[in-house]
Structure 1
């Protein structure tokens, strides 16, 4: 089984570009990448997918520091959506500490935190952990 869709929510075009390259070279990943430059754009589009019964991404890679709606504000609203299946959400940020990790855990939907820049080994480990969790269900 491959992970079909990954959503990148990040305003840094260089990080998005690098992540897309890593995704396209990963054996666990299918081919669909959704990219949103801020939390608001992502929330509107992901809400529309959910309301029309379409599949949400398997994984969301969420930056915290963005204009318009930051990662925390996105999580505040995303957690309210009536979803039957929750994507795996990973916060990908260049700056986070214990305070941010505790805050992320308080949402109950954040799987983990990953430091920027995203490395191929991080992505492979992330996918392998998801595949292992999926197979044990």
Structure 2
């Protein structure tokens, strides 16, 4: 099962993008990393590839606070598309926000697997990838 997991990272923080990209590259199970700097860019990609099972990611790491389209608006649009997807996509919110309002709001979105406060630890990432 080497190099078969497609990971999408939606985050406007360049330092975080750089860090998670290199951390993910070190995992043999990760085959492709698809980065976006805001939810609108990512949503365009999802719309364009909605029926392309092999282009869609297996997992999404989604930030909340981003310009153009934040993580919550992305999830609103994603949920509308969900019935059209040809595969299950696992979504984790990965945010620097420790606001209880954000935790509770994320909990209310059943399509979100978990809320992780940045930075994600390598052992957390290893466990998440292994569960796929």
Q: Does the pair score TM above 0.5? A: yes
Q: TM-score scaled by structure 1?
A: 0.85
Runs of 4+ in 1 over 6 A off after TM superposition: none
Tell me what 2:93 maps to.
91
Tell me what 2:114 maps to.
112
Tell me what 1:7 maps to.
8
Distance across 2 between alignment mates of 1:98 and 1:111: 17
Q: SS at the partner of 1:90?
A: strand
Q: SS at the partner of 2:80?
A: coil
1:89-112 deviations in Å (ceiling 9; x for gaps): 000001134432332232211001
Unmatched segments (≥5 aa) in structure 2: none
Instruction: Work out the number of aligned pairs and report it.
Output: 129
Rate the CA distance shift 1:68–1:41 in 2: closer, same or farther, 3 A: same
Matches within 5 A, 1:1-137: 1-2=1-2, 3-29=4-30, 31-52=31-52, 54-81=54-81, 82-128=84-130, 130-131=131-132
Kept in 1, the 8 Å contact 2:43–2:78? The answer is yes
Alpha-carbon RMSD across the aligned residues, in angstroms, is 1.7
Rate the CA distance shift 1:78–1:106 in 2: closer, same or farther, 3 A: same
